[in-house]
Amino acid sequence: MDFKLSKEHEMLRKAVQDFAKKKIAPFVDEWDANHYLPVEEVIRPMGDLGFFGAVIPEEYGGEDMGWLATSIITRLALECICGGGGLGIAAVLERK
């Protein structure tokens, strides 16, 4: 059985990882200390990139990328935010 990501999923993984490293990781400690929700810095851009609608069908305004794509997005964002601590949460989301 082959568990490699498809080319599309690998591109998504790279896009999410790059976004998280550039837009979240450098600021997450400051935002946390100030109890700040980075709507303009993170939430809106993630929505614009389609990260929130990954599992929603296109006819309802989503990206229709499926649950694996949603798991990739969730895992990488949590890993960046939690410094790896999100892996436990993400692992639950990725279980089949």
Average pLDDT of the residues in 75-84: 72
Domains of the chain by start residue, with CATH: 7-94 (1.10.540.10)
pLDDT at 60: 93
Token pair for 50: 């389609």
Mean residue pLDDT of the chain comes to 83
Of 13 and 81, the structure prediction assigns the larger pLDDT to 13
Whole-number Å distance between alpha carbons of 85 and 36:
20
Give the pLDDT score at 83: 57
pLDDT tens, position by position, 20-65: 889 988 888 888 888 888 889 988 999 899 888 899 999 999 999 9
Task: Give the predicted TM-score (pTM) of the model.
Answer: 0.74
The answer to whether 72 touches 50, Cβ cutoff 8 Å, is no
**CA distances (Å), 32 to each of 28, 29, 49, 58, in order?**
6, 5, 23, 34
